[in-house]
Structures are given as C-alpha cells and as structure tokens.
Amino acid sequence: MTDSSKPDGGIGLVETKLFIFGEKEPLRLASGQTLGPVTLAYETYGVLNKAGTNALLILHALTGDAHAAGYHAQEPKPGWWDVLVGPGRAFDTDKYFIVCSNVIGGCRGSTGPGSINPATGRPYGLSFPVITVADMTEAQRHLMDHLGIGQWLAVIGGSMGGMQALQWAASYPERVRSVIPIATTLKHSPQQIAFDEVGRQAIMSDPAWRGGDYYDHGRPERGLALARMIGHITYMSDQSMEEKFSRRLKTEGYKFTFDAEFEVEGYLHHRGASFVRRFDANSYLYVTRAIDYFDLSGGKLIKAGAPLPRFMVVSFKSDWLYPSYQSREIVATLRTHHADVTYVEVNSTYGHDAFLVEHEEQSRLFRHFLAKTSDGKEGVS
C-alpha cells in the first residue's frame, strides 16, 4: 500500500469480507429457532501473531457495521472508529490484530430480515427469527474459530457493542482476557424500552411497511426516518444541543408555518433522510428488540467458578440514554465477584454519542488498559 493511500497516517484502503457458516448445522438461537446458512460481514486490521495472543474484537453500536477503520474504495468517509485504529493509535495495528463484524439481524452485509431466505427465494421479512445479543455473540464465536483465535486479548464496544462485550464475558469467559464495555448497561430500563418501542411503532405505522413485506414495493422511509430522529435526540445531551443549535433559525424571522424553521429541526430531518439510505427498517425492529431483551442482571453476568476477565467500564457524565448509574451497577456486580475492574466516568458534554467523539480521553484509557492486560505479549512475531 502506497503512502498516498494513507493520507491521515491510518490503515488506508480496506475490504469487507464475508464468512458463511451454518449450512450443515444451523445456528441455534435463544428463541429455540435455528438460522442457516449465516453470513457475517467482517473486517480485520493488523496481523495475528504466531501465539494468537494479540486479537482484539471491536463491537459496533445499534446501527453500526463492520467498517470500523480505514477507507473503502470510492467512499470519502473512514470507518466509524478510524481515529482509534491504526499504526500508533490506541488500537495499534502494529501490535494488535483487530476484528470487527456486523451483527446478525443487521443489514450491512450480515444475514438479517432483508436477506434472501433460501427456503423461499425471497427476503425473510418478519419470517426472520427474533434474535438476541447472545445470538450475536454466538455468531461472532463461529467467526473467532474460523480465524483461528483461541482467546481475545480484549473485547471492546459502546452502547449495543458494550452489551455484546458483556455477553462475551457471560457466555465465554474463558475466551476473553479483558472486557471494555462503554456507555452501556446490564439491562434496559423501562424508559429505554419505551424509546425503542416508539421507534418501532413509527416504522410499523408507516403504510409502506406492509407488515414487513415491503421489499418489492418501496421502503417505509418516513417511518424509519422518524425512528432515527427520535433515537438521535437521545444520543445528544441538552448542553450539546444548546451549543450546536441553541434556538437559531434556518432563515431570519419566524415564518409562522410548520416547516422546519429551527436549525435543530433541519438537522433531525437531515439525519433521518440520510439514515434511510443505508439502513433497513426491519433490521431496526430486530436490533432494538434484541437490546430490549438483553438482561445480565441478577447474577447472570458472572458464572460460578468461571474465570474472571479484567474489566474497564467507561461512562460519560452527560449520557442520559445510558446514564452513569447503570455503568456503576455493572461495576458493583463485578466487585461482588472480586473481579479486577476499573471504572472511569468521563466528564463530557456530548451525551451518549461521546463514545464516538471523545477520542483523546478514550485513547489514553485504552492504551493504558491494553498495555497492562497484554503484559508485553501482544507483539506480531
């Protein structure tokens, strides 16, 4: 790769790969149903060392994908955590082998409701089985085996990615050396479930949704855009919205109409419109239901007698979607089991989105934690 392909000192051009499994033995889901064959879209960065001790798993949030870093050909934007992944960065590709996969149930390359059902030759739609966060991690475990990785040095994720990280600790503690759950929770509160339900109802109330069977007729764009607008409000904080928009108008003076007159209105409309171009409405239903079902409270996080990974739990002071008290509950649960756990509450004004934008502070935290965890065993050799 030439220097011109790395204009920002990052990893340059990358490609999304596909891993297919479950053709002979379908994936058994928490619901009791099975799914197969299953495709997982994933990307890797760096090189797995001979001992297999330098592998990191990065887990994306609700509507994210496998493209965590680098650039795709013909696309101007880098991956969603690009600033943290690359030579000399927090997730140093000169030291670590980094994996990021798109979850099942999604729509960014992995099998989901928009995928073709081999039994019918048509998109699954609502015939796709309901999935859980545990099902997501089980699919990732198959990818882990495919890549020849015996144990993750660390699993890291924010929001829904943090739930997956915790699920790895619950399901496969012997295969995880350390865990970094960021801006997440052991279980959804009624308020968090309520926000998800309003988003789902926005989609299902759109006449174009057609009971989930819309793939040949045009997508429920208005409902999906509205769901995204609702969700995006919860990702920001009161202070960050004041700083970004205040009560500024798009044009001078009130128009005395119901058009988008305030800048914040225009911003939400823009976010909704851009979202429908990249995400599937049915996938939104499935992944929000998965995080509503997620529950590792009440002793379900740590199995009796199981090995205990190291933990670093990170929250953000202005995050009101996943408030810091929920992270402290994770910490309290871990300390009950005498786990090695570090807790950091970052003083940020960005709200829930802070885990995607507070790069400098997180970079410092990740570097220090991974250095202590690896004990010098992480190098490529």
Residues annotated as catalytic are 159, 319, 352
Closest CA to 40 of 54, 60, 56: 60
Tokens 């919205």 correspond to 241
> Smallest Cα–Cα separation from 146: which of 48, 263, 9?
48
Is residue 120 within 8 A of residue 79, CB to CB? The reply is: no
Beta bridge partners of 44: 99
The secondary element (H helix, E strand) that includes residue 263 is helix 263-276
Take residue 32 and report the two structure tokens written for it: 């009791």
Contact by Cβ (8 Å): 159, 183: yes
Question: Do residues 125 and 286 lie in contact, with contact meaning Cβ atoms separated by under 8 Å?
Answer: no
| Other beta carbons less than 10 A from residue 280's beta carbon | 24
Residue 105 to residue 294: CA distance in whole angstroms: 15
d(CA 195, CA 286): 14
CA 350, CA 316: separation in Å to the nearest integer?
Answer: 8
Looking at the DSSP bridge assignments, the partners of residue 156 are 58, 180
